[in-house]
Chain A
Amino acid sequence: MSQQQFKTMPCPECGAPIPMSIEILLAGQAIHCPNPYCDVAMNVDQNRSRQAIDEVRKLKTALDNFEDTKRKLA
């Protein structure tokens, strides 16, 4: 599984697909709706999402280790 694979979530205001990835979830930065006519910027609520973010972080570590091993074997 590539870490670069993107999924999307619908913008809560206009419904436009907002790209989502492990990196975006962990970045802790505002996520903007790509629709130029929509002004929504969302932030991950770190407190309420602590457990989910911990899982994502563990997943990222596992994927990074896998990529490292793959590079070493290549």
Chain B
Amino acid sequence: MVFTNSEYTEIYQFISAPIIAVLNAEMLATRASADFIQQVGFQKEEGAELNDFGEVLTVSFVYQKPGTQQRLQLQIPLLSLIPIPMLQVKEAEFEFGLSLLRRRNQQTRIDPQDGAIRLPGGVDDFSATLTSESLRSTNTMNVKLKVAQSDLPAGLGRLLHLLENAIDQAPESP
């Protein structure tokens, strides 16, 4: 974790930074899923506007109707045939320690000399520092993330339902 050059840092900033990082990661993952849908599921024409997804990309199947000689063609949207990656952070665990050192009558801040974090504690304030040896020596934070496939968002479910309804069946054209 990198602190700013500002001499004063609130303790909530120290704690919220990794949480904000997780939220940003989720946002990027969601954007990647949206990009996937746009790139794989749609056929965008050159020069089309950013929000113009273009035509739905389809896979064409041919089969012979049982008991007849009739050959039929089936157009199915590609997006309804392949798994869509929708990742979500299921669990995030951050490990770092703070140790109260001594009472001080001053604002919360990080001491530029020893890296100690000065904590406000009501009328009397405390100073604190990172306690883990590994954290102290490397200035890193232990982070554990569990990422899993998320449930299908309602909006995307509706889109897939629309795509499935768009399955087109017709006699095979030459």
Shortest Cβ distance from B33 into chain A, in angstroms?
10
Query: Once bound together, how far apart are the Cα atoms of A12 and B167, in whole Å?
Result: 10
Write out the residue numbers on chain B whose beta carbons fall within 8 Å of the beta carbon of A31. Answer: 61
Write out the residue numbers on chain B whose beta carbons fall within 8 Å of the beta carbon of A9. Answer: 76, 80-81, 167
- Chain B interfacial positions (CB closer than 8 Å to A): 39-40, 43, 57-66, 72-74, 76, 78, 80-83, 85, 87, 149, 167, 169
Q: Which residue of A lies closest to B83 (CB)?
A: A5
Contact of B81 among A7, A13, A45, A48 (CB under 8 A): A7
Known interface pairs A12-B74, A12-B169, A51-B43; A7-B82 also in contact (CB < 8 Å): yes
- Chain A interfacial positions (CB closer than 8 Å to B): 1-2, 5, 7, 9-10, 12-13, 20-22, 25, 31, 38-45, 48-49, 51-53, 55-56, 59
Q: Which residue of B lies closest to A2 (CB)?
A: B83
Known interface pairs A1-B149, A38-B66; A45-B60 also in contact (CB < 8 Å): yes
Write out the residue numbers on chain A whose beta carbons fall within 8 Å of the beta carbon of B72. Answer: 12
A-B contact count (CB 8 A): 69
Write out the residue numbers on chain A whose beta carbons fall within 8 Å of the beta carbon of B76. Answer: 9
Decide: B81 and A55 in contact? CB cutoff 8 A.
no
Decide: A25 and B81 in contact? CB cutoff 8 A.
yes
With A7-B80, A44-B60, A45-B62 given, name 18 new contacts (CB 8 A). Answer: A1-B87, A5-B83, A7-B81, A7-B82, A12-B63, A22-B82, A25-B59, A41-B63, A41-B64, A44-B59, A44-B61, A45-B60, A45-B61, A51-B57, A52-B59, A55-B78, A56-B82, A59-B82
Decide: B62 and A43 in contact? CB cutoff 8 A.
yes
Write out the residue numbers on chain B whose beta carbons fall within 8 Å of the beta carbon of A20. Answer: 81-82
Query: Once bound together, how far apart are the Cα atoms of A73 and B43, in whole Å?
Result: 35
Shortest Cβ distance from A8 into chain B, in angstroms?
9
Decide: A25 and B80 in contact? CB cutoff 8 A.
no
Query: Once bound together, how far apart are the Cα atoms of A37 and B134, in whole Å?
Result: 65
Query: Once bound together, how far apart are the Cα atoms of A12 and B72, in whole Å?
Result: 10
